[in-house]
Structures are given as structure tokens and as C-alpha cells.
Chain A
Amino acid sequence: MRFVRSPTFPFRLDERLPPVTVSRARPTRRALLLGGAAVLAGCTTAPRGARARPGSDDDALLAAWASEQRLLAAYAGTTPQHQAHLAHLRALEARLGRTPSAPPAPPSADDAATVPALHAAAIAARDGGNAALLASIAASHAVLGAGR
């Protein structure tokens, strides 16, 4: 794709890189067995349906998803914060390709506290699309946390 300098604002979609497609790595038999064993043992607090694909960013996405659940529960449905966290949740589910389920967690309205972990996850993400999403969620949480 060629980027042509445009002498006009705003930044147009054709100046942007194409969206990164979701990685569709398939789980290996070993991962499925390990995931199944973890569920049977009941020894994990990770969301159910959270079997990470080896070499994927699933752990980071699931951790972000669990944070969004706690934040979502802390804000009333009519607030901009609730709408933002709902959008984050849906975007994470789209990247995961499924809707995980998790036991109820205590609500938390501390958006800013999630930023360092999201930054680290964005920098470390293997998939560029996941990195961009996690960075964007971190940016949104920083804005929400600043109470603007």
C-alpha cells in the first residue's frame, strides 16, 4: 500500500494501514488437554473458556477482559465510562473469537490502575492487532482515570 501525502485534513481511512486480521491459530491437542485438566482441577481463577492458544496473546487478552468486567460492573449503564468499557469488552471478545465466562468479581472503578499492565501487554503482544487494541484500551483507561 502506498501512502500518499494528502494536503488536506482530516486523516482519511485510505491513509491508514489496513486492519490487521485476527490470528486464527488453532489450539494443539496438548493445550486442550492442559486446559481441560485445569478446568477439572478447579484450581484456576482464569475465566472459563480461557484456554490459551500456545504462542498466542490469549492470556493477555483474557486478563484485559477480566479487568473490563470489573470496571463495567462499577459504572452505571448510562455513563460514558460504562459504554466505553462495554466497547472494550466487545473488542476483546472479537479478538479472542469467543465470549469467556468468569465467576463474579468485585467491581472496581480504578481505571488508571489497569494502565501499566495493559501497556506492558501491548508492548509484548505477538499479534500487531492485539497490541494496537490493548494500547488503545490502555489509552482510554488513562483518559477515564484522569476524570476528564
Chain B
Amino acid sequence: MTRLTDALAAAVSTEDQVIYGYGVAGAHLRGRDRASASAAFDAHRLRREQLIRLLRRARGVAPLPAPAYAVPFPVTGEADARRLAAVLEDGCCGAAWDLAAAATAADPARTLAVTWLAQAAGAAATWRADPAADPALPGQPA
């Protein structure tokens, strides 16, 4: 395993968790938020496929998703669901940071990571709806 394949495999794992998480969050959302969660669910499935293609091209093996994941807190209503969605997108920011760092200049994985980081940070901010709580450097390791 190379550093790039490690980062790509971790990114695939992250997307597996995020797709599952949006399924949980979406069940508790209504109206426009539910539509947003549904769109995010589809977008993350597409990104997972992109990541898997890049991983295979780098001669890596895509990890299999787990049947289920434990969410970090009980999700019992819309506020919890929005909070979970923000956590999921923050997780994507972290995986995208790592992928950007592991990929070489102008590599398709680098380009994807840069775009992914921007989209995830924007989505996290939208779900959070609290500008003061947005991280100054999305995805930066703690």
C-alpha cells in the first residue's frame, strides 16, 4: 500500500460512513432539508464511485462497507439530524485534506480532493448554520 492508496481507501471508507449517516439523518428531516439530505446521499454515492475508480487505477483494493455504523449521538429529531449531517461533512473535509496531501501535483486524486474539500466545507457550514462555529481550516488534522 502506498500513501496515496491508503488515503484513497480511507476516503472510500469515509464515504461509506457518510452515505450510511445521511440515511439516518434523512429519516428525521422534512421538506427542503430532506431534499438536501437526499441530494447529498446521491452525491456522496457518486463520489465514492469516483474514489473507488481512482483507487483501482492506483492498484489499490477498495474496502467493503460495513453493514451498519454507530452514530456518534442519538438522532431523534431534525436538530440532531442536521448536526449529524454537519459531522458527516466535517469527516469528508478530513478525508479530503488527507487525500490532497497524499496525492501528487495535478494528479486526478489531488483535483478531486480540492473540489471535495470545498463542497464538504460548504455543506457542513450550511447544515451547521452557525458561522462562528465553522472551522477556519476545514479538514485540518487536530
Q: Say if A and B assemble together.
A: yes
A interface residue numbers (CB < 8 A to B): 1, 3, 5, 7-11, 13, 15-17, 19-20, 80, 83-84, 86-88, 91, 115, 119, 122-126, 128-129, 131-133, 135-140, 142-143, 146, 148
Secondary structure type dominating chain A contacts: helix
Inter-chain contact B118/A119, CB cutoff 8 Å? yes
Inter-chain contact B122/A139, CB cutoff 8 Å? yes
- Using known A-B contacts A3-B10, A13-B141, A13-B142, determine if residue A131 contacts B118 with beta carbons closer than 8 Å: no
In the assembled complex, the CB of B106 is this many whole angstroms from the nearest CB of chain A, namely 6
Residues in B with CB closer than 8 Å to A129 are: 101
Inter-chain contact B21/A9, CB cutoff 8 Å? yes
Inter-chain contact B121/A123, CB cutoff 8 Å? no
Residue of B nearest to A139 (CB): B121
Residues in A with CB closer than 8 Å to B138 are: 136, 139-140, 143
Inter-chain contact B131/A80, CB cutoff 8 Å? yes
Highest count of chain B CB atoms <10 Å: which of A87, A128, A139, A140: A139
Secondary structure type dominating chain B contacts: helix
Q: Which of B68, B102, B140, B142 contacts A7 (CB 8 A)?
A: B68
Q: CA of A114 to CA of B131 in the docked complex: distance in angstroms? A: 19
Residue of A nearest to B133 (CB): A80
- Using known A-B contacts A88-B136, A125-B105, determine if residue A16 contacts B110 with beta carbons closer than 8 Å: no
B91 at interface, CB cutoff 8 A: yes
Inter-chain contact B121/A142, CB cutoff 8 Å? yes
Inter-chain contact A135/B94, CB cutoff 8 Å? no
Q: CA of A7 to CA of B136 in the docked complex: distance in angstroms? A: 28
B54 at interface, CB cutoff 8 A: no
Inter-chain contact A11/B14, CB cutoff 8 Å? yes
In the assembled complex, the CB of A64 is this many whole angstroms from the nearest CB of chain B, namely 12
Inter-chain contact B136/A140, CB cutoff 8 Å? yes
Inter-chain contact A80/B101, CB cutoff 8 Å? no
B125 at interface, CB cutoff 8 A: yes
- 6 more A-B contacts (CB under 8 A) besides A131-B100, A132-B98? A3-B10, A126-B105, A135-B97, A140-B135, A140-B137, A143-B138
